[in-house]
Amino acid sequence: MDIQTRDGVADSYLVRPPGDGPFPGVLLFMDAFGLRPRLEEMADRIAERGYAVLVPNLFYRFGRTPLVDLAGMSDPDRRGEIFGTVMPMIQDLSRDKVISDTESYLDALGTEAVVAVGYCMGGRNALVAAEGHPDRIKAVASFHAGGVVTDQPDSPHLHVAALAGNTELYFGHADNDRSMTADNIKALEAALDDAGVTYTSELYPGAPHGFTMSDTAMYHEEGEKRHWMRLFELLDRVHPAG
């Protein structure tokens, strides 16, 4: 599915259950390695429970998927090499761009309210998207997110007050994650408490950054299984499928 945004066209993956619907919506924010078969598998699994799931190519400003050769991501050195290649794309995706793009994604999904699910950089972007559209995103599930707490004025943790009374948050943190340290987690939780946001924040012991992605060297089977349990608990509670 191609989605027209203010800045171009985002190629996307959309999967829905059989039938006419309507179906509750899930907006899935990709990790740094982009739209690929692994994310399609994950979207399919969510759709099997009765959801319409949209996975946009967040890097569409750099071209259509695939943007880089992802072969060999199960090797740590190769994974690091690929990450270095996509880093400029990550850095280009500003807070304003995420919020603007999300409006187009939500319109394309066409449901009254959605749950935003994000992985790695997508966990950060799912939170930013909800902060920009608290009336349309009723919950966020963020897994092994990085960059949620920074020293910049656009740091997501500084804008969570927009979600108070509107959006429930779930964070599944990777263990010993340099992009989301123990101090970062404490700062995030303090900001959420101060703002009165409903949330759950959990550490996945032994699970490295990227633990849900079975096509990379960071895959952690126990962490992935726990993530599915927590995600489906959240969906069943706040956004149940008929």
Q: Which residues are catalytic?
A: 120, 177, 209
CA distance 212 to 185: 19
The angle subtended at Cα 129 by Cα 156 and Cα 106, nearest 5°, is 180
CB atoms within 10 A of CB 226: 18
- Burial pattern 58-96, b for ≥16 Cβ within 10 A else e, equals bbbeeeebebbebeebeeeebbeebbeebeebbeebebe
C-alpha dihedral, 211 to 157 to 198 to 30, nearest 10° = -40
Q: Which residue reads 């270095």 in tokens?
A: 84
Residue 87: its H or E element: helix 76-92
CA distance 7 to 103: 12
Task: Let me know: does 238 contact 139? Beta carbons within 8 Å.
Answer: yes
Task: Let me know: does 142 contact 170? Beta carbons within 8 Å.
Answer: yes
CB atoms within 10 A of CB 165: 11
Q: Which residue reads 């032994």 in tokens?
A: 206
